């Protein structure tokens, strides 16, 4: 007895395809297995003795492109592996397993899917096309395109009679990246190719925001594809008519970026870089967003705010307090997730800000301990010092007043010095007379 089953396998070109085939009874080994392809003859064959044979079309440079893993035979699995799948590998394969008087057969349709882009690296503004092909192409199949995991706006209609799907676009930064063909027939299959658009690669798109902290160095990017050598390159701040000097990188002439030694608040704004390549003028715009920390005082508390000239892309703020030991080792304290904080400790505070796609930038501030002391409840001790000084001043004033009174008293006593002399002389004469009377 025997049975024959059919199934479908879709594999990307260049990948490994596995065509399933199972024995169908409990004890399958030893078995005679034969794999064939319609119109191409034998692919691989094994006799019950263990001898194996390969078709001549499946051996390249002495290496067989097809095999059946022996380790799976004991489980009745005689699946065929095809390495480095090619377009011409697509078609119908048949598996025949003979164990004693039991024969099991299976047919497998292998379809090979691939995406090709022409030209593979177009210049910005050139026409390009993307083709999704499936071999053999089945009737009733449909295809849709995804660019960077988003549906392509110019979707082709589902087709049932054309051997593939082709879309044409103008090469810009909007279509650069991963082109994915989503093929649907009985089940879904996907394959992806990468489209690289030559031109200005940094910034990757117009109106890109570049972040920098006040006082720090940074570079406004303007980088062309490595194989391009732009001429007449300019870098200017838009809206003010100010052209910036630019310096090319020593490694490549495709770098027209502009360094800023120390960012200031006045540097924020929009910039434009441009250059001529193969007679075509390429340009890219960007916005420099400046970040700084600002102190504020509210109800006796000192606040620290992470301020950006444009915070439209910021979704999260994090403040980190850093401390250093005697060896200079840095350790980070707890993270405060607010735009404005009221620090309880002085030292180094860093504001890190994030967008939807992750980290954007940071700005670091040194907070003086004296500012923290003013808000941490140490003002009453200062008031006590003031009171103590006032009491001391009063005591000094009392001492000075008493000294003045004594001085005035002495002035009143010695106001008539002649009278004091007469009184003193009379007193002495009286004492002499009394002494003489006693002797007599």
DSSP strand pairing (231-237 vs 242-244): antiparallel
Which of 248, 256, 262 lies closest to 212 in space, CA to CA?
A: 262
- Please state, rounded to an integer, the average pLDDT across all residues of the chain: 82
Q: Please report, in angstroms and rounded to a whole number, the separation of the first and last CA atoms in the chain.
A: 180
Let me know: does 235 contact 222? Beta carbons within 8 Å. yes
pLDDT value of position 344: 82
Which secondary structure element, helix H or strand E, spans residue 270, and what is its range?
strand 269-277
pLDDT at position 315, please?
95
Closest CA to 274 of 169, 128, 124, 126: 124
| Residue tagged 């794999």 (tokens) | 35
Beta strands in 84-240 (DSSP E): 91-99, 102-118, 127-135, 142-147, 150-151, 165-170, 177-185, 187-195, 200-202, 208-213, 218-220, 223-224, 231-237
- Smallest CA-to-CA distance from 233 within 258, 208, 251, 250 is with 258
Identify the pLDDT of residue 251: 38
What is the mean predicted confidence (pLDDT) over 287-309? Answer: 89
For tokens 């990757």, what's the residue? 204
pLDDT tens digits for range 217-229:
999 999 999 888 8
Which residues are bridge partners to 80 per DSSP?
A: 19
User: To which H or E segment does residue 377 belong?
Assistant: none
Query: pLDDT digits over 28-51, tens only?
Result: 767 888 999 998 899 999 888 888
For tokens 């495709």, name the residue. Answer: 254
Residue-wise pLDDT for 45-76, tens only, equals 988 888 888 888 888 877 889 988 887 777 88
Confidence grade of residue 161 (pLDDT, cut at 50, 70, 90): very low
Across 34-48, 112-126, 231-245, least confident range: 231-245
The mean pLDDT of 289-293, rounded to a whole number, is 95
Residues 352-393 pLDDT 10s:
999 999 999 999 998 876 555 555 554 444 556 667 777 778
Burial track 268-277 (b if 16+ CB lie within 10 A, e otherwise): bbebbbbbeb
Statement: residue 253 has pLDDT above 50? yes
Tokens 């049932």, located at residue = 160
* DSSP output for 242-253: EEEP----SS-T
Residues 207, 286: Cα–Cα separation, whole Å: 4
pTM of the model: 0.64
DSSP helix/strand/coil, 49:
coil
- Cα–Cα distance measured from residue 90 to residue 114, given in angstroms and rounded to the nearest whole number: 12
Mean pLDDT to the nearest integer, 187-200:
91
Dump strand ranges (E) for 309-378.
316-324, 330-336, 340-341, 347-355, 358-367
- pLDDT of 264 > 70? The answer is yes
């Amino acid at each position: 007895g025997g049975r024959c089953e059919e199934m479908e396998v879709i594999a990307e070109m260049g990948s490994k395809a596995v065509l399933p085939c199972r024995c169908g009874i409990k004890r399958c080994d030893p078995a005679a297995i034969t794999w064939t392809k319609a119109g191409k003859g034998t692919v691989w064959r094994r006799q019950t003795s263990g001898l194996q044979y390969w078709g001549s079309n499946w051996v390249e440079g002495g290496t067989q492109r097809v095999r059946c893993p022996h380790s799976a035979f004991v489980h009745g699995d005689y699946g065929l592996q095809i390495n480095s799948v090619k377009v011409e590998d697509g078609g119908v394969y048949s598996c025949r397993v003979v164990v004693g008087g039991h024969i099991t057969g299976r047919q497998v349709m292998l379809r090979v899917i691939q995406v090709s882009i022409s030209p593979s690296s177009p210049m910005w503004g050139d026409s390009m096309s993307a083709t999704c092909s499936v071999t053999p192409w089945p009737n009733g199949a449909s295809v849709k395109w995804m660019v960077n995991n988003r549906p392509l706006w110019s979707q082709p209609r589902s087709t049932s009679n054309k051997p593939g799907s082709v879309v044409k676009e103008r090469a810009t930064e909007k279509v650069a990246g991963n082109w994915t063909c989503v093929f649907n027939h009985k089940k879904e299959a996907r394959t992806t190719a990468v489209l690289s658009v030559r031109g200005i690669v940094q910034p990757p798109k117009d109106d890109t925001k570049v972040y920098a902290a006040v006082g720090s160095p940074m570079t406004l990017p303007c980088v062309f594809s490595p194989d391009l050598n732009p001429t007449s390159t300019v870098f200017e701040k838009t809206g003010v008519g100010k052209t910036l000097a630019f310096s090319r990188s020593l490694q490549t002439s495709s770098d027209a970026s502009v360094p800023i030694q120390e960012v200031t608040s006045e540097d924020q704004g929009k910039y434009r870089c441009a250059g001529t390549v193969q007679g075509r003028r390429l340009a890219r715009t960007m916005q420099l967003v400046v970040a700084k920390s600002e102190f504020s005082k509210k109800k006796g508390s000192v606040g620290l705010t992470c301020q950006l000239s444009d915070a439209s892309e910021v979704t999260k703020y994090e403040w980190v307090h850093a401390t250093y030991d005697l060896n200079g080792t840095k350790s980070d304290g707890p993270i405060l997730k607010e735009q404005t904080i009221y620090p309880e400790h002085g030292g180094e505070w860093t504001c890190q800000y994030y967008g939807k796609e992750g980290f954007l930038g940071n700005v670091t501030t040194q907070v003086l301990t004296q500012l923290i002391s003013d808000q941490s409840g140490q003002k009453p001790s200062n008031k006590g010092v003031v009171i103590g000084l006032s009491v001391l001043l009063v005591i000094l004033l009392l001492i000075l007043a008493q000294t003045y009174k004594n001085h005035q008293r002495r002035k009143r006593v010695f106001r008539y010095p002649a009278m004091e002399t007469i009184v003193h002389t009379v007193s002495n004469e009286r004492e002499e007379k009394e002494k003489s009377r006693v002797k007599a």
